[in-house]
Structure 1
């Protein structure tokens, strides 16, 4: 009901007021995150992007269950690579900002890396594969040092790509400090 009658809860990102019918219908059917436009992504109930992604994920759940037990470690490794590759690929996307002065990242990059269900799919699949591996009795055969080193390497490698290339806008309240 919120998708049809709701107003935007993301001031500064979309026009305030009643959600237009195309965005309301897309939000109602949880397909609004498939459209790379902030008027759709942030329509009616902006937090429902996760529901749209989850609806897509659970439709694909039977495919994840079909991965043979012997291939689970390979599937886990492949999905880890995809989890790292998606944000890296997003860095190549450019275009108009999400909300100039509020969030200066290009909308298409932000949508691709954060909202598009296909790009969030590797995270979901990784969780499903790891859960199946644990359920099947798999346990890692490494000490603590190797995972910590790997986590540190990933953090150091990805940190520059996580920072915005534009300066952070000053708060409107900063003049009273």
Structure 2
């Protein structure tokens, strides 16, 4: 497993060591001991989530606040997505900055997004199966979000307008400056 910190402190790209031969491939997708050692964290994941989406779907920037904040380890099981992490930690030197990475079933990369971040993704392939681990349980009352097309964040989701699909819930999210962080 190879771990590289992004320019957002505490946010890591993880690349598993993949073994391939004429039968197919194998890789260890998660090992708590190695993960915590390489990221210098003590993350304990308690919930796994999976979603299926079609080309052009944008799942806007979502986050959990307060004691229900969540760290996430995200990856793609099928297809390709553009994954976005936004630093929402007011005391951070990268507050309001985002990091984008293409995650796919081919590159097997994962992104670790620490607590205090927002997260979203767009689907670049015909379909995508997205999987993520969370270190805290979901709490609806603690959920927040930021609209996908916020001018200040200026995220290029890499989705052509003709494919764009955004849920009605995500279309009414506040702008970054009005979000309750």
Global fold match (TM > 0.5): no
Could you say which structure has the larger radius of gyration? 1
More helix as a share of residues = 1
Kindly indicate which of the two structures has a greater share of residues assigned to strand.
2
